[in-house]
Each structure stands twice: as C-alpha cells, then as structure tokens.
Structure 1
Amino acid sequence: MALNVPGLISVIVFYVLILIVGIVAGRKTARSKSRDEIILANRDMGLLVSFFTLTATNIGGGYINGTAESIAFDGLLWTQAPIFYCFSLAIAGLVYAPKMRKGGYVTMFDPFQLKYGRKVGALLFIPQLMSDLFWAASVLSALGNTVAVILDVNAELAIIISAAVAIFYTFLGGLYSVAYTDIIQFFFILIGLYLMFPFALHHEAVDLSRVSGTWLGSIQPGHVGLWLDVCFLLTMGGLPWQVYYQRVLACKDWRTARTASVMCAVASFVLSIPPMMVGVIASSADWNKTDYPTPNGQSQLPASERSATMPLVMQYLVPMPVSIIAIGTVAAAVMSSADSVILSSASVFSKNIYCDIIRPKASGTELVWVLRVSIVVCGCLATVIAVTAESIYGLFVLCSDLMYVVLFPQLTLVLWFRRSNSYGCLSGFFLSFLLRILAGEPLLKLPAAIEFPLYDPVYGQFFPFRTFIMLCSVVVIIVVSLLTQLVFTRGWLPARFDVMHCLRLRTIDFREAKEMEPMTGKPTEAPAKDGWTEDGAVADGVGDRVRLARSPPGDL
C-alpha cells in the first residue's frame, strides 16, 4: 500500500492546530512559578470547560479502538468497559467529587498523606503510576495502529511523534493547555465518530444479518463470576483516578464538579455508540468484497488483526475523505487522554513525593521545573510501553485492575472511615498487591501462583478474584485499624511502640487547615484535648499542640 499523502497532510495539520492551541492556552503559566497554577489552573474551571476536558479525557484511543475490537471479536456482553465506565463517572460525580472538592486538596493523594503521613501516602502512588502508564500506553498504541493501517506509516514512529506533541504542550502550559486542547479534541471526536459509521454501515460488503445471532455474544455458566468481576472492576476501579480528580479539584466549586461529572457520564455513553457499531460492522462484513487482503480467502477478520479493527474499517469500508477525518478523531481521542494522564502522574510526583518528602522547602520555581521534568519522564515511559503493547483492549481493562483491588478500598475508607490509620492502610495495601500478583496476569505473561476455584490452566482465573481481593483489603484495613487503636488506647502497648505516630495526632482536612491559616500562609496551631478526637486520633494530654497545616500530621 502506498503512502496516503492527503491523510498524512491532514494529520500534520491537526497536530499543528493542537500544538498552537496548547501553546496559546499555556501562555498563562509558561513563566509561572506556582506549581498549583499549573496543576489546577487556579481552581477556576467553569462548567463547560470542565465538561469538555473530562469527556475528552475519558474518550481515549483505548475507549474507541478497544470498544470496536471487543465488540467485533467478543460481542456486546463482553464489552463492559464503555458502559460501566459511564456508571463509574456518575458515581464519582455524585459521591466522591463533592467530598474531594470541598476538602480543597491539590491531588487525590493529599487525604492519604494528611491522615496517614507523607511516606505512607506516597506509597499508594505506585499503583496509580502503573495504571496511568498502562492507560497512556493503550491510547498511544491505538493511534499507532490506526496511522499504520490508513497512512501506511510506521506505527512506532506515529506513537513517538504523538507522544512528543502531547508532552511538549503539557510541559509548557500544564492543565490550562490540556483543558483547552481538550475542547478542540472533543469536537473532533464527536463529529468524526458520528460521521464515519453510517458510511461503513452502507458499504456493499456489510450485511448485518450475518451477525444477527452472534453480535450480542454469550456468557457461559462457568464464566459468570469473571464477567461480574470485570463489571465491578470497571465501575469501582474507575473511581480512584488522579486524572479525574485533577479536573474535579480545578473546578470553581463542588457543584460544578458534580454537574460536569454527570454530564460527562452521559456524553461518554453517547460517544460509545459509534465504536460499538463499528465493531458490529467489522464482524458482519465480507472482507473478500473489499480490497483488504484476507489470509486464505476467509471472509472475516483474522484474530491477528484484532487490535486493528477500527482502522481497518476506516481504511476499507468508508470513503477516503471520511477516513481522513476519522484519523483526526482517533488522534484527538489519543492526545486528549495521553496529555491528561502524563500530567496526572507528574503532578502527584512533584507535589506528594518531591515537595512533601524529598524537598519540603523547595522554592516555587524548583517545583515547577520538577513538575515539567516529571511530565517528560512519564511521557517517555508510556511511549515505551505503547511501542511494545499487544492488545489495546487488554491494556484498557488492565489499567483499572490495580486501581480496583488496591486504591478503591483505600480511597473510600480514608474519606469515610474515620478510624482508619496507617497500620490498616499498609496492611491492606501489601495484602491486596501481593494477592493480585500471585493471581497471575496473562497480558503480562505472569503465571498464577494461586489457583482460585474454577481456575483453568489455559484461560486462567474464572473466579471473581479481583473482587475477592478488594473485599479482603477492606476487611484488613478496618480490622487492623480498630485493633491497633484498641491496643494503644487501652494501654496494652506503650505509646513508644506506635512507630507510625498516627494515633497521637489529630487529623483534619485541608479545607479546615486553610481556613485556620493566617494570611501569611504559616501553619496554624491549636490546642488538642485529652483523649480521642472525633477523627479517631489521640492527643497526648492537656497543653499538647497539634499543627494544623497542609503537611500530613503523621510526619510532624
């Protein structure tokens, strides 16, 4: 196949447009010395901008290409991601977003460090970083496949160039650049998706009657547990994402965050319909009637082309002008997610690890440059993973795996279970992480050391093991927290054995701390009472003073 010159030109024009918008939007913070201005856009995002950036971020290349891939080869019943991610957004907007925005945090990990201490809170960043990298890799891989098929350009080169563009404007402008480029990308996604599939549907090679009995897919009785496990994973695993809370915390107020999230959930479902239709079209087409060189003359797409389902439909079932627009759709979806995920991980590292642990007294200029270097490093790591990825949909689902089994119980309990402490947090973290590794992961070629009920040597775990591990984590966090509280308050162990120092300090949220800080910005101090505070921490006695500041009490 010859190089598609018009398509290549259109992609270059699109990239230049996005780059210009990103640079112009980033002028507000290009010379900023404020880390929070780059991370949270001065907490000044209104409803429309919040809605556009949330939706564009959620609709990534993995969402589009992965949905088409799964529908075509597995059927609708096994394509849970688009539907249950929408449920997740609605739950996050109604329950989690108001709580987080009212707290006035800078990142999702601030409540962990405030309550459990800096080092314990920073430990929870590990699964977040891994999931962010998997997500960014999935969307970049989707773009590489699309460009390789339609433009006949090397996929690795397309991935590297796309990542470089996203890294560059994110480096310059932070959330301002990301949010305003998301607006442009949102309309590219909306127009491109709904323009493409009607043309493909009316191609002469497409006959929907060929899949009238198979497009829905089927769930075998022994696979019900696995199906439910994935549903819960996608719903609850979609809640503890820094990339989501970065936008929530940048909203003007909690009502804006809640409304934008619910609107995003609805829009995400609406935008999932075209890729679903593309998947059905791909499985119902007689590919012998197209220019696609099917192996051995078979009429259906071979399993080896699974991850290329969307770009093959774009290339062979729609007119070239529409195909060119469709490339812009995938490119927009990829850029809007990749830049957000890169900024997400970089923000947490610069604030919760570098600033709070490594260099608490670092200047504003130093922190800004640490953030920018972190953006480059995270972008490069995601690019490396994307180049070696095999399945887009597999990465799309895997990125929520650790979030579900490790971070979902942690986030829920740190926000609503007042008696949780560092001992419970660490116990739940290591247990869930260890059990998840021992359960194995075929996508990472990790063998199963633990064989749960219904285990199959070929296909792996069919037991809802992720949900089981998540529930084990919840139980362990609660039990260990209550037990250690009892041990120290009853005097069964002297206070000197409280090595985490978490039971002797009062915990408060950042909003309360901010209100108590004087205009100079210095930490405020207030006397603590004897015994237990309402948050479950213990004060050593009358006259003790507990610093009420933005730094975590466990490290004071």
Structure 2
Amino acid sequence: MAVNWAGLVGVIIFYILILAIGLYASKKTKGSTSTDEVMLAGRSIGLSIGVFTMTATWVGGGFINGTAQSVYADGLIYTQAPWGYSCSLIVGGLFFAKKMREQGYVTMLDPFQLKFGKRMGGLLFLPALSGEIFWSSAILAALGSTFSVILDIDTTLAIIVSACIAMSYTLFGGLYSVAYTDVVQLICIFIGLWFSVPFAFTSEHFTTISGPNSTWLGTWDNRYAGEWIDYAFLLVCGGLPWQVYFQRVLSASSARYAQILSYSAGFGCLIMTIPSILIGAIATSTNWTATDYKREVEDSNLVLPLVLQYLTPQAVSTIGLGAVCAAVMSSADSSLLSASSMFSRNVYKLVIRQHATEKEIIWVMKGSIVVFGALATTLAITINSINGLFYLCADFVYVILFPQLVSVVYIGFTNTYGSVCAYFIGLILRLGGGESLLGLNPFIKYPYFDEDMGKQLFPFRTFSMLMSFATLLLVSRLFQYLFTNEVLDKEWDVFECVTNIPPAADSFEMKPKDVDIGEAIEVRDNGEKPLKSNIKFSGVFNPGYDIEF
C-alpha cells in the first residue's frame, strides 16, 4: 500500500492547528515564574473549559483504541475500562475532589508529604510516575498503529513526531495550553468517530451485530469471575490517585466546581466511548477476507484503524484518523505535565533542593517534560499491547497509592512507619503475581492459578491492595502505641512522626480559613503539635504554598 498523501496532509494541518492553539494559550503564562500559574493555570479553570479538559484527560488514544480492541477480542462484557474510569471520576467527585481542592494543594503528593514526610512522598512519587508513563505509552502506541494502517507511515516515526508536538506546546504553556487544546481535541474526537460509524455500518463487507452468530457481546465464563472483579476494582479505585486527575481538580476555580467537573467528565467518558464500542462490534461481524485487507484480523490492536481504513471512504478514514490524533494529544500532554509537576515540586523542591526558586522549579519541570516524554515514547515503540498497557498503567497506582490516598484524606492516626511497610508489602505482593508485558514470571502462585496458561485467576491485585491497606493501619497503630506508651524510647522514633518531633519542624499543615492581616495564627507540624512561634499573618494566604520563617 502506498503512502496516503491526502491523509498525511490532513494530519499535518491538524497538528499545525493544535500546535498553534497550544502556543497561543501559552501567552497566558509568558514570563510567569509562578508554579501556580504554570501547573494549575492560576486556579482559574471554570466549568466550560474544565469539563472538556477533565473528560479529555481520560478519553485518550488508549481509551478509544483499547475499547475497540477489547470488544473485538473479548466482547463487551469484558470491556471494563469505559464504565470503570467513568465510575472512578464520579467516586472522585463524591469523596476526594472537594477535600483536596479546599486544602489548596499544588499536586496530589502534597498531602502525602505533609503527613508522611518529604522523603516518603518522594518514594510514593515512583508508582505515580510509572502510572503516568505507562498511560502516555499506551496513548502513543495507539497512534502509531493507526498511522501505520491508514497512512502507511512508519510506526516509530509517527510516535516520535506526535510526542514531540505534544511536548512542545506543553513546555511553553503548561496547563493553560493543555486545557485550551483539550477543547478542540475533544470536539475532533466526538465528530471524527461518530462521523465514521454510519459509513462502517453501511459497508458491503459488514453483516449485522444482532444475528445469532454475533460475538461482540462476549460469553461469560465463571473461571474468569475473579479476574473480572479484580479489574473492576482496579479501574474504579485505581483511577483515583492520579496527578493527571487531581491537577484538574486543584486548578478548578472552586471546590464545588472541582466536584462538578468530576461528575460531568464521568458521564462524558461514557458518551465518548460509544463509537469505539460500535467500531469493535462492527469488526466482529465483518468479512475481512473480502475487503482489500484480504485476511482475518490477527492483531486486535489494529481493529479501530482497520475499520476506518477498509470499511469507510478515504476521506472519512482521514477524519477518523484526526480523531485518534486528537485523542492522543489530549492525554499525552496531560500525563507529561502531571509527571513533571510532581517531580519538580515534590522531589526536586521538597527533597533535593528545598531552597530552589520558583523560576528554577519551572525550568526543572520543563526539563522533566522532555525526559519523561522520551521515556514514554521509548516504551510505546518497544511494547506491543495497547490494552495491556492501558490496564498495567493503573496497577501500581491502585495497589500502592490508593490506600495511602484514603489514609491522608480520611484517617488521622496513620504515620510514616505504616506508610513505608504498606508500600513494600503492596509492591511485593503485586510483583509476585507476575507481569507478562514486562517479562516477569509469577513467584507467588495465588489460589486458582492456571498452570497451563500461567495466569492468575485470583483477584490478586485487589488482595495486594487490601493487604497494603491493612498493613498501613496496623503498623501505624502499633508504632503509635509503642511510642506514646513509652514501650520504645522516643529517640527510636527515627521518622520523627510520633513522639520525637523536632521543636521547629520544617514542614507543617495549615487549615485554610479566612484570616485578617495582623491576626495571630496557629501552625501545626506533622505530628499535630502546635509550634511555639508567634506568627502574624501579613498577606494573602494560600495553603498550597510554602511559608518560611
């Protein structure tokens, strides 16, 4: 097949448009040295743009390609990502968005570091980073497969070019550029995919999805019930502790808006996934040997681009390709900005160089965008399964970060000892289950392990999460008892979080409230003990910022 030059020109024009919009939006942060402006768009995201950018964050290339792939390969009954992530957004709005926004944090990891200490926050950054990187990889891999089918362009080249464009406007404009381009991208996704569906339905090679031989709904097998439950909880609960989500929550102009954005995006994700489900269903009832493709589909990763290429006219397939490009851009830029925001603030600023200036932090963030973008691009080129990456990206976030997120938001007595133990218990139990995508064989065979397939049928991810959560609670209580009852001398409190608390702690928590200028305010350290310093309020206070005294 020769290169589709018309389609290529259309994609180039689309990329130029997105780049122009991103660079135009970057003018809002031009010359700004405020991390609040660059990372959170000045906390000024309203409802209109907020709904678009929150929805576009999840509706990426991995989301729409992976959904079509799953419907084709396994059936709708096993396609859990659309409703799983939608439920996750709604749960986030109910239980986490308001509380996090009211505290005025800058990143998702801020409350972790306030409660468990700066270094523990840096350790928790690792699973958060892996989630964002795997997410970006899934998105870029989806784009590469689409380019290779529709345009006959080398997959590697398509992935690299797309990643570079997403990085470029994110570098200059931060969240402003990401949010403004999300509006255009989400519109393109909606129009592009819905425009393609009627043509695919009326193709001469398509039969029907309502016949007795139709397979798109899938067939339930009780053997996989545990695995199904495992993935269901993984998607709903594992979709919460993401900086890419909380970055939108924290950028909302109010706590109430943060909740509304979450609810709206949850319903938006369901609506946006319908055309992908239909495309996957169409693929199951198509006589592929009669098309120009001339063979059955062996690689389910290619389902969506194959339907666009062989069941729709060329002009329509190009429009559909534009939708995939838009989906990729809308999520890749968000993930890269989220990962770099956490690194620059929660690792570089609070762990490595505490006295770094705002300008220095922004430069570190921009450098991180390039580094993390290169890493995600490399993984997208070397790992094949889009849907596998799509699930894997939430694993470590679910097992390790979800229990700790619930803890810092709702549970007061947990401490660093419990956090450290829970971290490694969760990590060992999850890795023990194995991971074929990473070539890791299971060294823990959970109940119902299938020897023939080498597959865990027990919901071991959820089990690992629950064990991590239980460890966090029990170990925290244990050390609290040992130190407060003087079973252990306070000098053994090496994490300085129970009794051996420094008289002038360098990190503290303040509850946001209205404070008048000149009013004395009480500051508490990580151990909830008031510091003795008599501090007078002398300006506008935002609890997301550090205060030096």
TM-score range (shorter-chain normalised) is over 0.9
- The answer to whether the 8 Å contact 1:283/1:301 transfers is no
Structure 1 segment 88-107 matched on structure 2, within 5 A: 88-107=88-107
Structure 1 segment 214-229 matched on structure 2, within 5 A: 214-229=215-230
Quote how far apart the aligned CAs of 1:389 are: 1.8
Letter in 2 for 1:430: F
> Counterparts of 1:34 and 1:552 in 2: how far apart (Å)?
13
- The aligned counterpart of 1:297 is none
- The aligned counterpart of 2:44 is 44
Instruction: Name the SS for the 1:124 alignment partner.
Output: helix
- The answer to whether the 8 Å contact 1:115/1:552 transfers is no
- The aligned counterpart of 1:21 is 21
Instruction: Name the SS for the 2:17 alignment partner.
Output: helix
Corresponding position: 1:326 with 2:310: no
- The aligned counterpart of 1:249 is 250
- The aligned counterpart of 1:473 is 468
- The answer to whether the 8 Å contact 1:104/1:510 transfers is no
Structure 1 segment 284-299 matched on structure 2, within 5 A: 284-294=285-295
Instruction: Name the SS for the 1:501 alignment partner.
Output: coil
- The answer to whether the 8 Å contact 2:200/2:311 transfers is yes
Residue by residue over 1:176-205, the C-alpha shift from the partner in whole angstroms, topping out at 9 and shown as x without a partner, is: 000000001010011011111111011111
Corresponding position: 1:434 with 2:428: yes
Q: Identity across aligned pairs (percent)? A: 45
**Counterparts in 2 of 1:307 and 1:34: CA distance versus 1, 3 Å:** same
Residue by residue over 1:42-101, the C-alpha shift from the partner in whole angstroms, topping out at 9 and shown as x without a partner, is: 000001111000111110000000000010010011111111111111111121111110
Quote how far apart the aligned CAs of 1:545 are: 5.3
Residue by residue over 1:209-251, the C-alpha shift from the partner in whole angstroms, topping out at 9 and shown as x without a partner, is: 5664422112322211111101111111001110000011000
- The aligned counterpart of 2:136 is 136
- The aligned counterpart of 1:335 is 329
> Counterparts of 1:191 and 1:174 in 2: how far apart (Å)?
26
Quote how far apart the aligned CAs of 1:513 are: 6.2
- The aligned counterpart of 1:503 is 498
Structure 1 segment 309-388 matched on structure 2, within 5 A: 309-388=303-382
Corresponding position: 1:401 with 2:395: yes
> Counterparts of 2:531 and 2:106 in 1: how far apart (Å)?
31
Quote how far apart the aligned CAs of 1:131 are: 1.0
- The answer to whether the 8 Å contact 2:85/2:239 transfers is yes
- The aligned counterpart of 2:540 is none
Structure 1 segment 189-200 matched on structure 2, within 5 A: 189-200=189-200
Instruction: Name the SS for the 1:174 alignment partner.
Output: helix
Question: Could you list the runs of 5+ residues in structure 2 that have no partner in the other structure?
Answer: 538-542
Corresponding position: 1:414 with 2:408: yes
Structure 1 segment 248-287 matched on structure 2, within 5 A: 248-287=249-288
- The aligned counterpart of 1:165 is 165
Residue by residue over 1:397-422, the C-alpha shift from the partner in whole angstroms, topping out at 9 and shown as x without a partner, is: 11111111111111011110100100
Quote how far apart the aligned CAs of 1:289 are: 2.0
- The answer to whether the 8 Å contact 2:106/2:544 transfers is no
Cα RMSD (Å)? 2.4
Corresponding position: 1:77 with 2:77: yes
**Counterparts in 2 of 1:52 and 1:538: CA distance versus 1, 3 Å:** closer
Letter in 1 for 2:276: P
Letter in 1 for 2:261: A
- The aligned counterpart of 1:464 is 459
Letter in 2 for 1:436: R
**Structure-2-length-normalised TM-score:** 0.93
**Counterparts in 2 of 1:323 and 1:360: CA distance versus 1, 3 Å:** same
- The answer to whether the 8 Å contact 1:48/1:260 transfers is no
- The answer to whether the 8 Å contact 1:211/1:284 transfers is no
Corresponding position: 1:301 with 2:302: no
- The answer to whether the 8 Å contact 1:89/1:264 transfers is yes
Structure 1 segment 228-243 matched on structure 2, within 5 A: 228-243=229-244
Quote how far apart the aligned CAs of 1:366 are: 1.1
Instruction: Name the SS for the 1:291 alignment partner.
Output: coil
- The answer to whether the 8 Å contact 1:503/1:538 transfers is no
Letter in 2 for 1:224: A
Letter in 1 for 2:422: G
> Counterparts of 2:407 and 2:11 in 1: how far apart (Å)?
45
Of the candidates 438, 458, 462, which is equivalent to residue 444 of structure 1? 438
**Counterparts in 2 of 1:330 and 1:517: CA distance versus 1, 3 Å:** farther
**Structure-1-length-normalised TM-score:** 0.92
Letter in 2 for 1:188: C
- The aligned counterpart of 1:512 is 511
> Counterparts of 1:177 and 1:420 in 2: how far apart (Å)?
38
**Counterparts in 2 of 1:328 and 1:550: CA distance versus 1, 3 Å:** closer
